[in-house]
Amino acid sequence: MSLFSHFRALWRQDIRLRTIVTLSLLLGIILLVATAWRLGEIRTSLEEATRSRAHIIGRTFTILEAVALHENLHLRQSVLDSYHDDPDIARVDLLDVDRMIIASTEPGRVGHTVTDSHTTQAQEQGSEIIGYDALSHESHFLVAVEPLQNGKLITGWVRIEFPLAKMRRQVTLATQESILTGVLLIGSTALLALFSMHRISALFRDTATRLQTTLTSLTQQFPDLKPSVEAPGTGPPFTLPSQCGEIERTVALINHTLGLLTRQTDLIQTFTSWLGNAVTSRTSQLTDTVDDLKREAAERAQAELTLRENETKYRGIFESSRDAIMLLFPPEWKFTACNPATVDLFGADSAEHFTSLGPWDVSPPFQADGELSTSKAPTVIQRAMQEGSHYFEWMHRRINGPAFPATVLLTRITLQGKTGLQATVRDISEQKRTEQAFRDLSEFQKAILDNAGHAIISATPDGIIRVFNPAAEQLLGYSAEELVGKQTPAIFHDPQEVVARAQAFSAELGIDLEPGFDVFVEKCRRDLPNTHEWTYIRKDGSRLTVLLTITALRNPEGTITSFLGVASDITTLKVVQQELTLAKDAAEAANVAKSQFLANMSHEIRTPMNGVLGMTELLLATPLTEKQRHMAHTVQQSAASLLTIINDILDYSKIEAGKLQLEHTDIDLSHLLDDAVKLFSEAARQKGLSLSATVTPTIPTVLRGRSDTTQANPTESDRKLH
């Protein structure tokens, strides 16, 4: 016998089974109908609230679009950002008339084209569309598409996606609770029929009376109930009575189930009320936003009026500016406009010629820092767009010409709804040359200061040291860090000497000078020579004498900007001067003694020489052979030359005494040469030499000079021949 046949026989014979199954089916059908009806009401209520909010948001964006949204990207994005963290909104997209996303709560979607059926249907019908859309993983959304109108013209669309997951969770929870309640009811019914069939029959005979009695006295009949099963919801726990019949227990379970359904209805009504309040609050916020937008629109209208009034002034400045001004806009970042100064600066043929170029066309391949111009230009453009302005130096290049340094000011501007940059370029070639010359001069001056052999010290007009070169450090033992900006030159001057000089300069200048910095510079202030010997005191306390020259440095207006002092150590020079003075005195004394000795000796020698000359002259007057006469004549000439030397010695004494007088006479050169040959011929003959003299015709025969100084010294000449 099959299982089905056994069940059919049991069904026919056992009234309890038929009763249990029948009651279970009836209760299940009733429960399903009631649950479906209640869930339908819940879903309808939630969907209507969501649809209402979608319509309000869509109308709000329509109002915003009509006010100023289409032309103000920043305001548009700020409104969208207010919905980004709203848990009841999944996404808001603003579309242009071609359904391309121009703004979104998800910036990554900007630029995409929406092709879903709702947007397509709304565009075809030219009206709002609200419907369901299913994305991945069974996550459903309520999609609303609202037109953005300017008058009767549709300028775009707003597409809103509301997540229905929250609503579906509520519905699912209610469904689960209903199913649980149904299972409990059906189970209770089955148990009731199974274990209390005879009592069910009795209760059914008097259902009305027993049911009424049970409902009115349920709590009174079971005052000692113990909680065993806690029902879901916010009500008290439900306990199945253990001392009553199955019908009573079933009735109690049904009543508790109805209570659960009532509490669920109250919960749904509470949620619906909260959702309505949230929509009202958000609507109020959007109304305030619309008011703000209206005020901003009025302010913008006033700003546009002011802008139009200033446009003429700006155009005049643009055209007459001596700086090169040009405009450039994305995405190509090519020049779109320029003033006449730009054409002149870059050597363009015309403004049209220049506006056909880009920044890279008027730049050398590499910038001064070695970076490629093509890679550095986008960086400075991006920074200017982000910060609003950017000032920097740039190497430009004239068209078909050399490169030149320039300063560039990039300023972000908005013209006719487009955001770009205004570039102001100024050629700084001359400035760079001046700066380089100044740097060279500064380096030259520093080299002079660092390598100068003299101490160079500069002070401000009020006496504070600001330059202290290495020679000064070596001279005085102080470091520049110890004195510059901290001390005055008085720190290394002898105080007593400063007091004495103050008195001396006061008398010289006719003023009252107090000992201090003025003593050093007062003559400079009056443009008087200011070179004096001063005593410096080194850091270790030792003293030295310097020759100090102080000069006042003035600006073009004649105002003194600083004082410059150059000091030379003359301590060694002073010692040398003293030694020279002593040596000079000793030399003069020795010279006087020498002159006296020479004068005495010359007189002592002249007496015998005069005797030799006299006797030679007497000898020549006697009869002599030719050879004897020649020898006597030679002795006479030698004696005369020696007498000349003696006279010269006396002349040197006269030179030292300042009494020498020079004599100038005519000299016969041929006669002079003959005498010289005769003087040395005997010595030459003894050596086997022949001595002669020849005068060329180009030599003059007469010379001007002292005849006695041209006589040869026979002794010296003879010594040379030997």
Q: At which of 539, 569, 599 does a domain end? A: 569
The three-class DSSP label of residue 540 is coil
pLDDT-derived band at 225, boundaries 50, 70, 90? very low
Residues 423, 463 within the same domain: no
Residues 347, 422 within the same domain: yes
Residues 355, 416 within the same domain: yes
Residues 692, 624 within the same domain: yes
Contact between 428 and 405 under an 8 Å Cβ cutoff? The reply is yes
Residue matched to tokens 């052999």: 453
Residues 395, 493 within the same domain: no
Q: What is the pLDDT of residue 489?
A: 92
pLDDT-derived band at 493, boundaries 50, 70, 90? very high
Number of domains comprising the chain: 3
Indicate if the pLDDT at residue 209 is higher than 90. Answer: no
The three-class DSSP label of residue 478 is coil
Decide which of 192 and 604 is more confident.
Answer: 604
Residues 474, 531 within the same domain: yes
**Span 99-115, pLDDT tens digits:** 888 888 888 888 888 88
What are the φ/ψ torsions at residue 695 (nearest 5 degrees)? -110, 125
| DSSP character at residue 233 | S
**Residue 281 corresponds to which tokens in the numbers above?**
């609050």
Contact between 63 and 148 under an 8 Å Cβ cutoff? The reply is no
Indicate if the pLDDT at residue 445 is higher than 80. Answer: no
**Residue 48 corresponds to which tokens in the numbers above?**
């209507």
Q: What is the pLDDT of residue 252?
A: 58
pTM (2 d.p.) = 0.34
Share of the chain above pLDDT 90, in %: 8
Provide the strand spans (E) within 462-574. Answer: 465-468, 531-537, 543-554, 560-569
pLDDT-derived band at 662, boundaries 50, 70, 90? low
pLDDT-derived band at 201, boundaries 50, 70, 90? very low
Least confident piece of the model among 249-263, 427-441, 460-474: 249-263
Provide the strand spans (E) within 465-511. Answer: 465-468
Indicate if the pLDDT at residue 61 is higher than 70. Answer: no
The three-class DSSP label of residue 539 is coil
| DSSP character at residue 69 | G
Residues 407, 372 within the same domain: yes
The three-class DSSP label of residue 569 is strand
pLDDT-derived band at 140, boundaries 50, 70, 90? low
**Residue 502 corresponds to which tokens in the numbers above?**
């103050």
Q: What is the pLDDT of residue 239?
A: 55
Q: What is the pLDDT of residue 496?
A: 92
Residues 617, 565 within the same domain: no
Q: What is the pLDDT of residue 659?
A: 56
Average pLDDT over residues 706-712: 50
Q: At which of 545, 569, 593 does a domain end? A: 569
Indicate if the pLDDT at residue 710 is higher than 50. Answer: no
| DSSP character at residue 7 | H
Give domain status of residue 267, yes or no.
no
Instruction: Report the side by side order of strands in the sheet with 455-459.
Output: 465-468, 455-459, 560-569, 543-554, 531-537
**Residue 344 corresponds to which tokens in the numbers above?**
């002149």
Least confident piece of the model among 216-225, 260-269, 336-345, 694-703: 216-225
Give domain status of residue 80, yes or no.
no
Give domain status of residue 88, yes or no.
no
> Helices marked H in 88-164 — which ranges?
117-125
Provide the strand spans (E) within 629-706. Answer: 665-668, 702-705
Contact between 94 and 78 under an 8 Å Cβ cutoff? The reply is no
Indicate if the pLDDT at residue 417 is higher than 60. Answer: yes
Indicate if the pLDDT at residue 668 is higher than 80. Answer: no
Residues 412, 329 within the same domain: yes
| DSSP character at residue 136 | G
Cβ neighbors of 563 (< 8 A, separation 6 or more) are 458, 459, 460, 461, 520, 521, 524, 550, 551, 552, 553
The three-class DSSP label of residue 568 is strand
Amino acid sitting at position 54: A
Q: Which of 323, 568, 529 is nearest to 426 (CA)?
A: 323
Q: How far apart are CA 566 and CA 544, in angstroms?
A: 15
Residues 410, 473 within the same domain: no
The mean of the pLDDT values for the chain is 76
Q: How far apart are CA 610 and CA 642, in angstroms?
A: 10
**Span 584-643, pLDDT tens digits:** 888 888 877 777 777 777 777 777 878 888 888 888 888 888 888 888 888 888 888 888
Give domain status of residue 151, yes or no.
no
Indicate if the pLDDT at residue 350 is higher than 90. Answer: no
Q: What is the pLDDT of residue 266?
A: 65
**Residue 718 corresponds to which tokens in the numbers above?**
């003879």
Q: How far apart are CA 176 and CA 400, in angstroms?
A: 83
Largest CA distance in the chain: 217
- Burial of 176 from C-beta contacts in 10 A (0-12 / 13-18 / 19+): exposed
Give domain status of residue 85, yes or no.
no
Q: How far apart are CA 564 and CA 548, in angstroms?
A: 10
Q: What is the pLDDT of residue 223?
A: 45
Indicate if the pLDDT at residue 459 is higher than 90. Answer: yes
**Span 259-316, pLDDT tens digits:** 555 655 665 677 677 777 878 887 888 888 888 888 888 888 887 777 776 666 666 6
Contact between 40 and 178 under an 8 Å Cβ cutoff? The reply is no
Q: What is the pLDDT of residue 203?
A: 46
Residues 336, 400 within the same domain: yes
Task: Give the CATH number of the domain where residue 519 resides.
Answer: 3.30.450.20
Average pLDDT over residues 361-383: 87
Decide which of 320 and 625 is more confident.
Answer: 625
The angle, 0 to 180 degrees and rounded to 10, between the axes of the packed helices 246-320 and 207-216 is 60
**Residue 260 corresponds to which tokens in the numbers above?**
């659960």
Average pLDDT over residues 712-719: 41
Q: What is the pLDDT of residue 464?
A: 93
Give domain status of residue 405, yes or no.
yes
pLDDT-derived band at 211, boundaries 50, 70, 90? very low
Give domain status of residue 232, yes or no.
no
Structural domain boundaries, residue 379: 321-427
Residue 103 is inside which H or E element, if any?
strand 101-104
Average pLDDT over residues 192-197: 61
Residues 489, 540 within the same domain: yes
Indicate if the pLDDT at residue 543 is higher than 80. Answer: yes
Q: At which of 569, 592, 626 does a domain end? A: 569
Q: What is the pLDDT of residue 478?
A: 93
Give domain status of residue 349, yes or no.
yes
Q: How far apart are CA 256 and CA 686, in angstroms?
A: 175
Chain centre to alpha carbon of residue 284:
47
